Structure 1
Amino acid sequence: MSKSNTYGTSIAKQRLSRLTSTGASALCAASLGLVVASTSQVHAQEQCSTYTIVRGDTLSQVAGRANVRGGYQVLFNANTDILASPNLLEVGQVLKIPCEDGSLPTTETAAAAPAESAPRLQPESLDRPLRFVTASGYAPFTEESMDGGGMLTKMVRRSMELGNPDQAFSIIFVNDWGSHLNDLLPSGAFDMAFPWFLPDCDKVENLSAPNAFRCTDFNHSAPFYDALVGYYTLAGSAYDGATTYPELFGARLCRPESWFTFDLEAEQLVDPTISLVQVPQMECWELLRNGEVDIVTYDALPAEEDLDNAGMKDVVAQIANLTSQQTLHVFVSKNNPNGDAYMDIINAGLEELRLSGEWFEIVREGIKETVEN
């Protein structure tokens, strides 16, 4: 994983679900920006209930009015079966507002049923147990001391069992993240590795070599989990209300040390286009308060909490239109002749895991265990 993939211990304690599909009905021009809804549009939103989107709503507004702990990240993750993007709401969409304990409200609409006969893939070439490699130190996602090895480990295990119950496999913890993609997959010592963030491979020409090779040398599964990355500036600054990344050119950005930067590279937010500062997480907010940086950017869930702890909510504005989604995957080397067959098994099982609702329960239990410990 390397340091660029190890930031998740503090950020994932409160996260909830991930499903994928799109919404329906007429498009609303609202986004995560601070669009002010009229009085007639502000309907009561309560935890453990549902809410129907009206014109002028934004995800952050709905989360705020319902006092959703974790803000729009948690609300988005609870509704990704409906929302294709955190920046796009559609009039008439019915959002589930999480309960106090993190569970979802019961609705009259039944969950989609799994396919009657899930794929049972058993290529002749897969006549031995498949070998997965992961590592500890990334709770609640992967941690050998946790129940089932962490929630991503549980997801991978269940995806294999659902995708092909006849295929034997093993999951081994090797606590040297750097070796996974650099040595263990290319050499064939292991077949697959997880969890790894995937850069925007459509912009691979903008990526540094250590990030570009995730696109050029590996294939990947469907997303197992996603995170929203937010951008924040002082209210009224020259960057407040920016709608495109080039509007940040010339700015001083603070991204906490040990966090990935491939998303910044993809949008050309690198030196000398911008000035990048990397310091401990909370120091970013002090630098912003003192005018020593213009923008703070990292995972929205801890950022919102850190912003509150820093006592700066009244003076900081979210640059909502720049919010991005970053996703965690299983990787396989492109040199592996059976790589496509491996991905078929994983993806078939993951889809069934989502449709059954078991994915959400694994996430809830993983977060609960981390918080209690």
Structure 2
Amino acid sequence: MQEPAVLSPLHEVVVSFYAKSVSAAGISSPEDVHGMKVCRPSGYFKHDLESMGRVPPTIIRVAGKDPADCFERLKEGSVDIVTVNADTSDRMITELDLSGEVEEIIDLATIQTLHVVAMKSNPKSRVNLLRLNKRLKGLQMDGTFKKIAAKHLSASLQPPTGYPAVVLLLARLTQRGFLACVLPFGQGAEVEIQPAKGKN
């Protein structure tokens, strides 16, 4: 299978791990979660868990319907670990009033990058990714990128259900001369990007 062409990182996210406060102190490495029930919402990526070697049967993977569901399961004791991005974790802990009940396991946290991909078999992929990289660099240089990320990844705002915040960045790129068709990442995800008519 041909490897896809990949855009420069659109965004970096901190992926956190949480456990009940009474048990968090005993977890400091991926090996310590062996045999535990780990909840990550359905549709989220899992390559970071795979790189740690934390896949079944070394763990029991639980796919919650959303981040709140995972934290509710942690609160009631039906799972041992919750892992989602840090911004979402902070919001869930506040909304569900879990401060003092759960604790972040800093040693397991990782930084993951979000990308747009395109098939190399498509002759337009390379030029479209180069154009998108150019527009992305423009957003970063004029400060627009930071404003969008701060607004849509804040603890008080949440992206539309099923769509990562990076989609909102693509929407802004559309205004800069691109048409983007995006499906939720991790759920049959695909991104099709092409220059808008009359734009370079």
Q: How does 1:221-236 map to 2 (within 5 A)?
A: 221-236=7-22
Would the aligned equivalents of 1:230 and 1:300 in 2 still touch at CA under 8 Å? Answer: yes
2:108 paired with 1:322: yes
Alignment pair present for 1:344 and 2:130: yes
Maintained 8 Å contact 1:234/1:240: no
Q: Give matches, 1:36-47, under 5 Å.
A: none
Query: If each structure's strand is expressed as a fraction of its own residues, which one has the higher value?
Result: 2
- 1:338 is displaced (CA, Å) by 5.3
Look up the SS of the partner of 2:64 in the other structure: coil
The reply to whether residue 262 of structure 1 matches residue 47 of structure 2 is yes
Pair 1:218 & 2:4 matched:
yes
Task: Summarize deviations over 1:235-292 as a string: whole Å, max 9, x none.
Answer: 131x536343233222111112333333322322211010011223323223222332
In structure 2, C-alpha distance between the alignment counterparts of 1:367 and 1:324, rounded to whole Å: 17
Structure 1 residues 258, 366: closer, same or farther in 2, change over 3 A?
closer
Matched position secondary structure for 1:230: strand
5+ residue gaps, structure 1: 1-212
Q: Which residue of 2 aligns with 1:301?
A: 87
Give the match for residue 278 of structure 1: 63
TM-score (norm 1): 0.37
* 2:96 is the counterpart of 1:310: yes
The residue that corresponds to 1:133 in the other structure is: none
Query: Which residue, 20, 31, 36 being the options, matches 1:251?
Result: 36
8 Å contact from structure 1 (residues 250, 275) kept in 2: yes
Q: Which residue is equivalent to 2:170?
A: none
CA-atom RMSD, angstroms? 2.9
Equivalent position amino acid for 2:57 in 1: P
Please give the alpha-carbon distance, in whole angstroms, between the structure 1 residues aligned to 2:36 and 2:9.
32
Report how many aligned residue pairs link the two structures: 156
Instruction: Indicate how the Cα distance of structure 1 residues 224 and 273 shifts in structure 2: closer, same or farther if over 3 A, else same.
Output: same
User: Residues 363 and 302 from structure 1, CA distance in 2 versus in 1: closer, same or farther, beyond 3 angstroms?
Assistant: closer
The answer to whether the 8 Å contact 1:232/1:317 transfers is yes
Q: Is the 8 A contact 1:241 1:319 kept in 2?
A: no
Q: Give 1 or 2 for the bigger CA radius of gyration.
A: 1
Q: CA deviation at 1:326?
A: 2.7
Q: Is the 8 A contact 2:15 2:83 kept in 1?
A: yes
